[in-house]
């Protein structure tokens, strides 16, 4: 018989009962009143067999499930167990600290909220589990006040909900539910565990053509669908393309915060200046009316970034876009598709259905490699600071994204120091920038207003 090392203990703090060591697939507790177990990713759950089981002071509900974290208290009342009330405290061998969810009110009646998965300018994403079904989800908690300071229109948050409800596609992140309070908007979303495409490109240096083609094909299918439904994303970039898992290549287009639903009533063109500078189409920059073709330009930039590991617009480079495509990409098929997507004139820029017919997208001559394998990186080299690392030099716009993510994750009200930012990036990216690259990117991001600088500390720009 195989012996399993306990991964949790339930110590008795009130009542008459024995302490419980939890190992293997979990155990039943308090005469079967509840079962404590964990999934393959180490997330711990309690499932109540009857009423009278409380976690963190909240009733779990008969045949319902709740998340459990280190230090949580589980109370079993006499109605659930004949031997009388008993209260346990959970001690996990390995655990992640969760945040207090008391402020989230009625949302926790349907979903138990666990650890923080990520943070941004105005939102925090937390692990959740549906109390009725036990399905794990991601709960995006949007702070309305912070959003208004960034986007200047709280109604845009509700637009995102309406758009996500209208879209059902295997390569678009699914919205299961939403809740609204005076201060917050909660989006209950499909949970994915593979991170985003930006991190994968940075870690790999660049992607192989076979992998980039597979990613682009899936995103094109999603964009063709959303355009057919009248939705323009307006912020397609690697950071907004999620991976369903760390193995394989299944993508999910996410973050519809600045998307727009076009119709005869709402209009078929737009004029708002928005998007991420490295990915926005020329007609947006020119502040002229534009349509869904702006997403196609962004997809052209995405293709270039995946295959080259850099942006097609290098500072002070006296090259036209076709010249940069010729220089930065390898195969003629990829070059041809990229040129068709990055046409200055949107009238001749290819649509998503057209792009899906391109020979490079349909071709099978390349042997697909497991994601995130990439073409061999350049050999390590020294820069003026004496640092050495793997891969090609990082463009400061790429490093700027890393910096913004680091500041958001560190979440220091006083601001983050350059040292703290550098340590975070080094811990989260396989090929971090050199000190000189980080210094240049901090200066550029400050000048552009993406971050602010006071003394030795940096904060996200408003």
User: In the predicted model, what is the mean pLDDT of residues 113-141?
Assistant: 87
Paired with 323 in beta bridges are none
CATH 2.60.200.20 segments of the chain? 8-96
Residue 191, pLDDT > 80, answer yes
pLDDT confidence of 394, banded at 50, 70, 90?
low
Q: Identify the weakest region by mean pLDDT among 24-28, 216-220, 328-332, 416-420.
A: 328-332
Q: What pLDDT does 278 receive? A: 85
Question: How confident is the prediction for the chain on average, in pLDDT?
Answer: 80
Q: For 178-190, how does the pLDDT look when each residue is reduced to its tens digit (9 = 90+)?
A: 998 888 889 999 9
Look at residue 451 in the predicted model and tell me its pLDDT.
83
418 DSSP 8-state letter: H
Q: How far apart are CA 86 and CA 397, in angstroms?
A: 57
pLDDT digits (tens, 9 = 90+) for 227-239: 999 999 999 999 9
Distances (CA, A) of 265 to 20, 167, 269: 63, 19, 11
> Of 105 and 243, which is predicted with more confidence?
243
Say if residues 16 and 86 touch (Cβ distance below 8 Å): yes
What b/e string do you get for 362-394 counting C-beta neighbours within 10 Å, with b at 16 or more?
eeeebeebebbebbeeeeeeeeeeebebebebb
pLDDT score at 229: 93
Residues placed in the known binding site for ATP: 140, 239-240, 255
Q: Is the pLDDT of residue 341 over 60?
A: yes
Residue 392's pLDDT band (cuts 50, 70, 90)? very low
Residues of the chain with CATH 1.10.510.10: 197-362
Is the pLDDT assigned to residue 395 strictly greater than 80? no
Q: Would you list the DSSP string of 152-212?
A: S-THHHHHHHHHHHH---TTBPPEEEEEE-SSEEEEEEE---S-BHHHHHHHHSS--HHHH
Provide mean pLDDT across the span 269-278.
85
Token pair for 88:
């346990």
Residue 257 carries which DSSP code?
A: T
Q: Strand, coil or helix: what is 429?
A: coil
Asked if residues 142 and 184 have their Cβ atoms less than 8 Å apart, the reply is yes
Strand partners for 29: 34
Task: Tell me the percentage of the chain whose pLDDT exceeds 90.
Answer: 25
pLDDT in tens, 248-258: 889 999 999 88
pLDDT value at position 252? 97
% pLDDT > 70, the chain:
80
Q: For the domain bounded by 197-362, which CATH number is listed?
A: 1.10.510.10
Q: Cβ atoms within 10 A of the Cβ of 110, count?
A: 14
Instruction: Delimit the CATH 3.30.200.20 region(s) of the chain.
Output: 104-190
* Residues annotated as catalytic (active site), given as ranges: 235
Overall average pLDDT of the 418-440 stretch:
78
Most confident range, picked from 57-61, 117-121, 216-220: 216-220
DSSP state letter for 291: -
Greater model confidence, 231 or 114: 231
pLDDT in tens, 325-334: 666 566 888 8
Q: Long-range pairs for 290-295 at CB < 8 Å and ≥24 separation?
A: 290/346, 291/232, 291/262, 291/346, 292/227, 292/232, 292/262, 292/351, 293/346, 293/349, 293/351, 294/232, 294/234, 294/346, 295/223, 295/227, 295/232, 295/233, 295/234, 295/236, 295/352
pTM: 0.65
**Structural domain 381-460, CATH architecture:** Orthogonal Bundle (1.10)
Fold of 104-190: Phosphorylase Kinase; domain 1 (3.30.200)
pLDDT score for 234: 93
Residue 379 CB partners (closer than 8 Å, separation 6+): none
pLDDT of residue 391: 40
- Mean pLDDT for the stretch of residues 350-360: 93
Check whether 139 has a pLDDT greater than 90.
yes
Which phi and psi angles does 212 have, rounded to 5°? -60, -40
Position 462 confidence tier, pLDDT thresholds 50, 70, 90: low
Q: Is the pLDDT of residue 440 over 50?
A: yes
Higher-pLDDT residue of 166, 441: 166
Q: Per the structure block, which two tokens stand in for 171?
A: 């390569």
Q: Is the pLDDT of residue 20 over 90?
A: no
Q: In the Cβ-directed half-sphere of 128, how many Cα atoms lie within 13 Å?
A: 29
Which residues, in sequence order, are CB contacts of 93 under 8 Å at separation 6+?
A: 6, 7, 8
> Among 174, 172, 320, 297, which residue's Cα sits nearest to residue 237?
297
Domain with residues 8-96, CATH architecture = Sandwich (2.60)
More confident residue, 221 or 429: 221
Q: What is the pLDDT of residue 254?
A: 93
Tokens of 7: 């991964």
Nearest alpha carbon to residue 197 among 427, 65, 371, 405:
371
pLDDT tens digits for range 65-84:
999 888 889 998 865 566 67
Residue 267 pLDDT class (50, 70, 90 cuts): low
Q: Worst-scoring range by mean pLDDT, 40-54, 87-101, 171-185?
A: 87-101
**pLDDT band for position 388 (cuts 50, 70, 90):** very low
What number is the average pLDDT over the span 415-434? Answer: 78
């Amino acid at each position: 018989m195989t012996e399993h090392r306990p991964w949790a203990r339930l110590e008795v703090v009130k009542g008459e009962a024995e302490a419980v060591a939890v190992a293997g697939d979990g155990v039943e507790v308090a005469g079967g009143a509840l079962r404590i177990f964990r999934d393959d990713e180490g997330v711990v759950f309690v499932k109540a067999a009857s009423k009278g089981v409380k976690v963190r002071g909240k009733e779990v509900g008969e045949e319902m499930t709740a998340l459990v974290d280190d230090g949580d208290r589980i109370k079993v009342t006499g109605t659930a167990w004949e031997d009388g009330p008993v209260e346990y405290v959970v001690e996990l061998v390995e655990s992640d600290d969760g945040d207090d969810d008391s402020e989230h009110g009625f949302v926790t009646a349907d979903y138990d909220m666990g650890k923080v998965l990520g943070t941004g300018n105005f939102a925090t994403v937390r692990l959740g589990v549906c109390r009725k079904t036990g399905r794990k989800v991601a709960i995006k908690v949007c702070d309305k006040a912070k959003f208004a300071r960034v986007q200047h229109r709280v109604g845009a948050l509700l637009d995102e909900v309406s758009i996500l409800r209208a879209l059902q596609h295997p390569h678009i992140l699914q919205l299961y539910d939403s809740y609204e309070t005076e201060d917050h908007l909660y989006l209950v979303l499909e949970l994915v565990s593979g991170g985003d495409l930006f991190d994968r490109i940075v870690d790999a240096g660049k992607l192989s053509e076979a992998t980039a083609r597979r990613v682009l094909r899936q995103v094109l299918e999603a964009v063709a669908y959303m355009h057919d439904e009248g939705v323009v994303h307006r912020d397609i970039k690697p950071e907004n393309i999620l991976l369903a898992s760390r193995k394989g290549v299944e993508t999910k287009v996410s973050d519809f915060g600045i998307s727009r639903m076009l119709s005869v009533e709402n209009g078929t063109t737009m004029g708002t200046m928005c998007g991420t500078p490295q990915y926005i189409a020329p007609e947006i920059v020119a502040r002229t009316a534009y349509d869904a073709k702006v997403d196609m330009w962004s997809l052209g930039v995405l293709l270039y970034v995946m295959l080259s590991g850099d942006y097609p617009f290098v500072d002070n480079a006296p090259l036209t876009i076709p010249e940069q495509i010729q220089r930065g990409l390898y195969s003629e098929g990829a070059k041809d598709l990229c040129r068709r997507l990055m046409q200055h004139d949107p009238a001749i820029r290819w649509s998503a259905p057209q792009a899906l017919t391109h020979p490079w997208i349909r071709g099978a001559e390349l042997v697909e490699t497991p994601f995130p394998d990439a073409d061999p990186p350049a050999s390590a080299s020294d820069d003026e600071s004496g640092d050495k690392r793997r891969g090609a030099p990082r463009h400061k716009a790429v490093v700027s994204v890393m910096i913004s993510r680091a500041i958001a994750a560190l979440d220091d009200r006083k601001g983050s120091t350059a040292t703290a930012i550098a340590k975070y990036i080094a811990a989260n990216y396989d090929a971090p920038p050199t000190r000189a690259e980080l210094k240049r990117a901090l200066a550029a991001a400050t000048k552009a207003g993406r971050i602010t600088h006071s003394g030795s500390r940096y904060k996200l720009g408003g």
